A = this chain, B = another copy of it.
Amino acid sequence: MKETHRVVLLPSGRQGDVQHNTTILEAARSLGVDIESICGGRQVCGKCLVAPEYGQFAKHGITSDETNVTPPDAVEVTYAEQNGLNLNECRLSCAAHLLGDMVINVPERSLARKQAIRKAAGELAVEVDPVCRLAYVEIESAELGSKSDWHRIKQALATQHGIEGVSIDPLLLPRLQKTLRDGKWSVTIVVWNDEQVISVYPGYSEQIYGLAVDVGSTTLAGHLCDLRTGEVLATTSIMNPQVRYGEDLMSRVSFGMMNSNGVDRMHKAVVKALNDLAAAAAEEAGIATDDIVDVVLAGNTVMHHLLLGIDPVELGGAPFALAMEDAIDIRARDLGLNAIARGGMVHVLPCIAGHVGADNTAVLLASHHTFKEDVVDLIVDIGTNAEILLAHNGQVTSASSPTGPAFEGAQIKHGQRAATGAIERVRIDPATGEPRYKVIGDERWSNDLADDETLSPTGICGSGIIEAIAEMYLVGMIDTTGLFTPHAIESNPLVRMNGKTGEMILVPADKSANGEAIVVTQQDIRAIQLAKAALYAGVKLLMDHMAVTTLGRIRLAGGFGSYIDPKYAMILGLVPDCDLERIGAVGNAAGDGARLALLSQEQRALAQTLVEAVQYVETAVEPAFQELFVAAMGIPHATDAYPHLLHLLPAVAVHGSGEAEPRRKGGRRRRRAT
């Protein structure tokens, strides 16, 4: 009898020699193929199924014989009967010992680190290897002279799973003895970071869930994931209840300053929303909230501070000092997040700088692998502030531009959030000067309706106002400074003076939802000009810092970034020139990044590393920023800084028919709109 046997693992092709009588589980691990095993080889979990291949394998010089593996014992036979397994085709790799050479097929679902595909971008695969993991242990019953129940569990974690020196959340101790007895001296343990037991189930369990949340100023968007498989079980959004304390971030900073317990109220409001979100997601997924053991949070710096109960007042003015930028692990209950497991943990992603928060870290985490050495890559997340990441030659710079909330429909006379009834698309006939529009929740253009029909718009959302102003410019209704032209005021009945400034009637009173005409005012145009100039100046500032003159790719993150038509964004001059084909949305990249950090401890650590390498440029004090800002106020298509746009302009002007509008996901839109 040979002392060692050759093992070939398919489909990886990994092979090597292992000791006689090694289990297939151990053999595979020793060859670098990590097979899943919750029960630590006790033939309970059935996660480690493999298919031994029998026959001659000339390629490997192996005869893989049935007698080269131990036959199933009574436990394995019982397991197979109860679970409908054919032991001729597959075996529990923890039970089958190697007696000779073998070729073994390890199916994907038996791998410890499963591949999770990031659906949104469809391009990133991550190995599911979260900070929290399951371990099933069986211990001896308590006898006179036994060590304590916890001591024996701790020993079992070491001997059965190789997890050494682990502690237990003291608040689990009250329930430990009953749980252990309910499980007849077996429990399934959730271990955090191989350091601490944070949950205990009686007997065998596969329940281990996590929640990744992008805490936006307006919306909290969460993914509830199975931490064993990486699967997304529910995607749930909830309004940020802080909105009642101020639409934009600076209003919330002020609220905290003006009200003695304002910070605490905002903190408690967002924590309550997190609790509600966790409960809603768990209900949607049909799981118990107690089984959620880990939460990853991303948010801008003001959200970050309010989440942690920190007064954001220092972020309201120079020098914009953060209390803390590093990643934080905090006990969920310390945060007041009680809708998850009692011992559950929260990981708050790190911030980059005073105005570039953990949401941007998440965006960076979700996209950094797509950066190319020779491409100047711009990622913009447009909200109340626009957070800008510019990557080139392995270096990433970042800045935050104070766009204000105009892009979100605030500070616009008939502006509103993107919700059912909001005008999201606008076209103006160059010949007649007549506008038509589409509203969220309806696929029809306003001019395709019968006379007695109306879309009953309630207002204009960010993408709508951008298209309206760009179209007004394209048809000559406003000039390059943004002012209504005398010609338009004289000749177009839909353009009128209101006091000293002009406005365009986009929807007549009898067609709107509330019987009032929806107009685009001179002030609206000015607000958008200020916002877009800020965004443009921020990007330009970073380009100057990196000494690059052209952009190779632009990606727009966040909700607004998904809805905006890049063509119109460029006509208005929100972003510098770029090949239109190279401008795209990346959806909820912040949410994707948070999910990566939830599913993979490696990605979680990487977030901190990435953040530390980012070079931050403070727009607030760069004299160049002010210059760039002022210079960017005009509506720029006539300038020679937009070669890609000039090339496209005739098409824009002639067609403008909406065919080019960006693809969007109806599901998400509908969820947002309800």
Contact = CB atoms under 8 A, between A and B. Distances in A.
Interface in A94-152: 142-151
Interface stretch (A283-291, A324-332, A529-537, A585-593): A324-332
A144 B314 CA distance: 12
A620 interface: yes
Interface string A319-344: 11111111010100111000000000
Contacts of A351: 148
A310 B324 CA distance: 36
Contact of A170 (B145, B149, B328, B620): B328
A149 B618 contact: no
B142 A173 contact: no
A499 interface: no
A145 B353 CA distance: 8
A545 interface: no
B149 A324 contact: yes
A61 interface: no
A309 interface: yes
Contact of A171 (B177, B318, B334): B334
Contacts of A151: 324-326
Contact of A173 (B149, B178, B323): B323
Interface size bracket, A side: 35 or more
Interface string A349-367: 0010100000000000000
B310 A173 contact: yes
A323 B179 CA distance: 11
Given A170-B330, A171-B334, A319 B148 contact: no
Given A174-B309, A174-B310, A330-B170, A319 B146 contact: yes
Interface in A170-189: 170-171, 173-174, 176-178
B173 A321 contact: no
Contact of A150 (B263, B314, B326): B326
30 contacts: A142-B319, A142-B321, A143-B319, A144-B319, A144-B620, A145-B319, A145-B353, A145-B616, A146-B321, A148-B323, A148-B351, A149-B314, A149-B322, A149-B323, A150-B326, A151-B324, A151-B325, A170-B308, A170-B334, A171-B334, A173-B308, A173-B309, A173-B323, A174-B263, A174-B309, A176-B310, A177-B310, A177-B311, A177-B321, A177-B323
